[in-house]
Amino acid sequence: MSSKWNIKEDFTKKHTISLKSSKYNIFKKVAITTLLVTTIGVSNAFANSTSADTFEKIYHIYVGDTYLGPVSNEEAVTQIIETKEQEAKGIYKDYVLDGSSNVTLIPEQVFSYETDDATTLSKLKEQMIVEAESYALQIDGKPVVYLKDQADYEETMRLLKLQYVTEEELQNYEANASLETLPALKAYESRIKEIKIAEAISGEKTQVNPTQILTPEKAVAFLKTGSIEKQLYAVQSGDVLGTIANSHNLTTAQILELNPGLTEDSLLQIGQKINVTVEKPLVNVQIVKEKATVVEIPFEKIVEEDDTMFKGETVVKQEGSNGKKEVSYLISQQNGTVVEKTLTKETVVSEPVNSVKVVGTKVISSRGTGNFAWPTVGGYISSKQGSRWGSYHRGIDIARPSNYNIKASDNGVVTAAGWDGTYGQRIIINHNNGYETVYAHLSKIDVNVGQVVQQGSVIGIMGSTGHSTGTHLHFEVHKNGALVNPLSYLD
């Protein structure tokens, strides 16, 4: 028996057959015949003197590649398989199930041999799995997702593409696939030129535990992230987005991308669920999109100088306008992220028209430049123009300068220099370009009426004369006789 068992054991490692009693077809490999002949040959001496009735048939049971042991009753095995199938059909109603697909019986004629049927059949009940017909989605020849059938496989591939393109874009792409030449794109149009998956994807019929079969939607989620379910984190006391991101090997930007409702300023609540799924795509969807658009060609701003015009005067010689050009791009994306953008065509529709502005450069000391300089040596604005203390403050007050020198804000001619009621010691300069400036509360005046002054020249000393609460300069600007805000003109 031992020598015959060794022969059998070695054989079953390499050659197995599936046997089904009654409803199960019997598939025998030629090699099994060789086994039986060999087995009989080993015991030929006994056969000459022993009746054939002394031989017994036993059945060696395998589940997958696992040997469970021998049994004497094939019908008992059949009954277990049928019972398991019926139980599974009650759960998995939409699948084509087969309980014997991973069970193998190897018959053997032996002399008297005691089998422990109860133990072996108990192992069979525990270990056998009723498998369902399925369609394996394979990446580089290795199955990674199991689907119900080929239709679900094709739907999975369609939904995977729809993660990165719209339904309309996909339909147009499929319709264009049959065209030899695509029509030219019009401005602001776009279309998908290519959709492919970087990895080698294939499908194959197989049988698998039905618990492993996914819907197309869950299969897409798994292919995109490497995980069927999202990993959620419950916010703890003291958590902030940065610490949550670090503890899950993510950046704050990735956390925000995974959780569209969150911002960097969001107030986290204890117990709040945060998606921290680290996405590791199993497939990479590559898309090439063709896009046509119209972009503006900006005009240039040209400044021409004219020494016959006074400094500060400007004339617009020509208004500018942008041009336009039609451009086409090829945009390459991987999993929705742009990885390359290539300009393929550029056509100018209209040329830009440059703007031309003429500025005066002529400077005379009695005429202002139009640019007003700060009238003190440093200092700060202690009071702005506007309503104050129940009346209207006509200018700005400047206090605490580095020294008390008061300077002409621009070139001009002194038209007033002396006492003026609440202003105290006051100077008025006419800049001969429509502007006048007023300097009040001075302690000393260093210019006379009619005197020509240059921008930045000292005209007096800061003081607190007239109606004043302390040493400061009251400064006003008038344009064409109307009071204006000095802060709109001072450099």
What residues have CB less than 8 Å from 258, skipping those under 6 apart? 250, 275, 276, 277, 279
Segment 74-93 mean pLDDT: 90
- Residue 269 has φ and ψ, to the nearest 5°, of -105, 140
Domain harbouring 241, CATH code: 3.10.350.10
Q: State CA 364 to chain mean position distance.
A: 62
Q: Tell me, yes or no, whether 37 and 125 share the same domain.
A: yes
Q: Tell me, yes or no, whether 268 and 148 share the same domain.
A: yes
Q: Tell me, yes or no, whether 271 and 312 share the same domain.
A: no
On whether residue 188 sits in a domain, the answer given is no
Segment 368-387 mean pLDDT: 94
Which pLDDT belongs to residue 241? 92
Q: Tell me, yes or no, whether 40 and 65 share the same domain.
A: yes
Here the tokens at position 82 are: 């049928």
What residues have CB less than 8 Å from 11, skipping those under 6 apart? 31, 35
Q: Tell me, yes or no, whether 397 and 326 share the same domain.
A: no
pLDDT in tens, 8-58: 333 333 333 333 332 333 333 323 333 333 333 333 333 444 444 567 899
pTM score, whole prediction: 0.55
Q: Please state the domain count of the chain.
A: 4
| CA dist list (Å): 184 to 190, 191, 224, 328 | 10, 11, 34, 10
On whether residue 281 sits in a domain, the answer given is no
Which is nearest to 289 in space by CA: 329, 337, 325?
A: 329
On whether residue 101 sits in a domain, the answer given is yes
Q: Tell me, yes or no, whether 15 and 115 share the same domain.
A: yes
Q: How many CB atoms lie within 10 A of CB 18?
A: 17
Q: How many CB atoms lie within 10 A of CB 9?
A: 11
Round to the nearest angstrom and report the end-to-end CA distance of the chain.
112
Out of 299, 334, 362, a domain closes at 362
Query: How long, in residues, is the chain?
Result: 491
Segment 78-92 mean pLDDT: 90
What residues have CB less than 8 Å from 333, skipping those under 6 apart? 164, 286, 287, 288, 289, 339
Q: Which is higher by pLDDT, 143 or 52?
A: 143
Out of 362, 389, 408, a domain closes at 362
Q: Tell me, yes or no, whether 343 and 398 share the same domain.
A: no
pLDDT in tens, 157-185: 999 999 999 999 999 999 998 888 888 89
On whether residue 371 sits in a domain, the answer given is no
pLDDT in tens, 276-333: 987 788 999 999 999 999 999 999 999 999 998 877 789 999 999 999 999 999 999 9
Mean pLDDT of the chain: 86
The secondary structure element, H or E, covering residue 456 is: none
On whether residue 25 sits in a domain, the answer given is yes
Residue 96: is its pLDDT beyond 60?
Answer: yes
Q: Tell me, yes or no, whether 352 and 456 share the same domain.
A: no
Out of 256, 275, 294, a domain closes at 275
Helix 117-127 / helix 74-91 crossing angle, nearest 10 deg: 20
On whether residue 266 sits in a domain, the answer given is yes
On whether residue 134 sits in a domain, the answer given is no
On whether residue 368 sits in a domain, the answer given is no
What is the percentage of the chain residues whose pLDDT exceeds 70?
88
Domain harbouring 467, CATH code: 2.70.70.10
Q: Tell me, yes or no, whether 255 and 148 share the same domain.
A: yes
Domain range enclosing 408: 376-488
Q: Tell me, yes or no, whether 79 and 146 share the same domain.
A: no
